Amino acid sequence: MEIKTNSTEFSFLYRAADCVLILLSLYICAKAQYVELTNAYIVIATYSVVLFLLTSESVGLYRSWRTSKMSEQIMTLLCSWVMMFTAILLVNYAISFDLTYSNALLKAWFLFTPICLVFWRLIIMLAKEKARDMGYNRRTAVIIGVTENGLQLAQELRENHQLGIDLVGFYDDRQPDRLDQQRMQSTLEGNADVALEYVRGNHVDHVYIAMPMSAQSRIAHYLKEFSDTTANTYVVPDFFVFNLIQSRINVIGNVPTLSVHDTPFYGGTVWLKRLQDIILSSLILVLISPVLVAVALGVKLTSAGPVIFKQKRYGLDGRQISVWKFRSMTTMENGNEVKQATKNDARVTPFGAFIRRTSLDELPQFINVLQGRMSIVGPRPHAVVHNEQYRVIVDRYMLRHKVKPGITGLAQVSGYRGETDTLEKMEKRVEYDLRYIDSWSTWLDLKIIFMTVFKGFVGKTAY
């Protein structure tokens, strides 16, 4: 038995077309500006194609987009192109190639290429939609099992017209009065045996068996029965009973396994995330170096004690790390009792109140990012004593540590920053942290960084 994961249709053709368009757009820009394509441009074009394929693979550009909005695909493409171009410029600067380019040509190429890449994708999308509107490239499907999974699948099939799949009937062995017919939005056509006869007589393309996991013997029975038809048969696993995070199918030998709680960082994504952290934190530290000096002087001149406060926190996989901050209090709690800062907290110095309110006290953590202890974006680290307290009372709390802690995160830009004086606030923070882990992408990281700069840098709940 071999388990295969779903892949993009004609993914090789998409990659090939992108490579051709990248090279063709450079050629067009060069001709338009009467620039001769020397060996220097051949070198940069080669590096660009290779790096674009690598960055596109890492951000998931070539995955299946059939159930996603076109805008999401376009933003992913643009993100990949900007990452590639930035990497080219950084490599060229670091290695100092003795090559000369036309800045005007490179700027035109940088702007013109993504337009070409987006334009041809729009043409393909419109062509597919037109063909399906005319009745081409459409499939029919039946769902066996009026379960939560079956109802959600039916909703997806109805709402996502780009799938090109028409739901022609619901089937279930139970009586109609035991089913949620309102959500079905159609009548029950009969039981599974009736579905079998209908599929045989009407050349149905897809059969989705959405029975509960407890009905394993019945599922096996109908899989055998439908193997006597030409329909593509799918089992819709009842995995909604679990709270999945970054779930994926793995195969050990010939035994399939499903990861319930997993990390988004494996393989190339580990290095992509680390490269992103190194580049951004290095640039930020250079830019904010005058601010670091000013804040350090402010701390030193306004209160007695060290400039930097180091506190033990939980990092990746629950390992303890030392997190750096500018000292903002008269005390430096780092033991079994760590009290959260509150409004008008007497421990906070006047200058400390300012740097806490503006998050300037967090700036030394960019050094932690360079050290590899933290990431720029991720769940905010809590004091060890708070971790031990909340892991007992907040469901799935420790799953936050499937990734490195961050300077900013989805919870912080969503309004859950500062003091967590109620259990509900901590639960919401954990909810957003896990949502970030489950939906991580490079584009999401950049979006959170952007929101932090323009929305989350100053907070009313940061004391």
Looking at 21-25, 160-164, 352-356, 388-392, which range is the least confident one? 160-164
Residue 18 burial by Cβ neighbours in a 10 Å radius (0-12, 13-18, 19+): buried
pLDDT value of residue 185: 65
- Rounded mean pLDDT of 387-394? 90
**Is residue 260 a contact partner of residue 242, using CB atoms and an 8 Å limit?**
yes
Using CA atoms, how far apart are residues 18 and 12, in angstroms rounded to an integer? 10
What would the pLDDT profile of 121-156 be if each residue is shown by its tens digit?
999 888 877 776 776 667 889 999 888 888 888 888
Using CA atoms, how far apart are residues 380 and 448, in angstroms rounded to an integer? 13
Percent of the chain with pLDDT over 90: 26
pLDDT at 376 over 90: yes
pLDDT value of residue 285: 93
- Rounded mean pLDDT of 179-193? 73
Within 13 A of 311's CA, how many CA atoms are on the CB side?
26
Query: Among candidates 83, 69, 67, which has minimal Cα distance to 155?
Result: 67
Over the chain, what is the mean pLDDT?
82
Within 13 A of 239's CA, how many CA atoms are on the CB side?
16
Query: Among candidates 443, 452, 432, which has minimal Cα distance to 72?
Result: 443
| DSSP summary character for residue 329 | B
pLDDT at 14 over 90: no
**Is residue 314 a contact partner of residue 405, using CB atoms and an 8 Å limit?**
yes
Q: Is 384 helix (H, G, I), strand (E, B) or coil?
A: helix
Looking at 35-44, 249-258, 306-315, which range is the least confident one? 249-258
How far are the Cα atoms of 67, 155, 239, 435 from residue 148, in angstroms, in the given order? 19, 11, 10, 21
Q: How would residue 288 be classed by pLDDT, with cut points 50, 70 and 90?
A: very high
More confident residue, 376 or 228: 376
Q: How would residue 342 be classed by pLDDT, with cut points 50, 70 and 90?
A: low
Structure tokens belonging to residue 265: 């960082």
More confident residue, 276 or 60: 276
Could you identify the residue written with the tokens 């940069």? Answer: 44
Residue 242: phi, psi to the nearest 5?
Answer: -105, 155
pLDDT at 86 over 70: yes
How far are the Cα atoms of 41, 314, 348, 403 from residue 436, in angstroms, in the given order? 40, 18, 31, 10
Q: How would residue 379 be classed by pLDDT, with cut points 50, 70 and 90?
A: very high
pLDDT value of residue 94: 59
What would the pLDDT profile of 434-460 be if each residue is shown by its tens digit?
999 988 888 889 889 888 887 655 445
pLDDT value of residue 5: 47
pLDDT at 230 over 50: yes
User: Under 8 Å CB-to-CB from 299, ≥6 apart: which residues?
Assistant: 307, 326, 327, 328, 351, 352, 355
- Rounded mean pLDDT of 67-80? 80
pLDDT value of residue 270: 81
How far are the Cα atoms of 297, 327, 352, 354 from residue 303, in angstroms, in the given order? 10, 9, 9, 14
Query: Among candidates 279, 222, 214, 239, which has minimal Cα distance to 445?
Result: 279
pLDDT at 106 over 50: yes
Is the pTM higher than 0.85? The answer reads no
| DSSP summary character for residue 25 | H
pLDDT value of residue 251: 63
- In the chain, what are the domains? 11-133 (no CATH), 139-241 (3.40.50.720), 268-456 (no CATH)
Could you identify the residue written with the tokens 């995070």? Answer: 245
Looking at 48-52, 143-147, 180-184, 406-410, which range is the least confident one? 180-184
- Rounded mean pLDDT of 70-81? 85
Per-residue three-class SS string for 32-80: HCCCCCCHHHHHHHHHHHHHHHHHHHHHCCCCCCCCCCHHHHHHHHHHH
pLDDT value of residue 6: 47
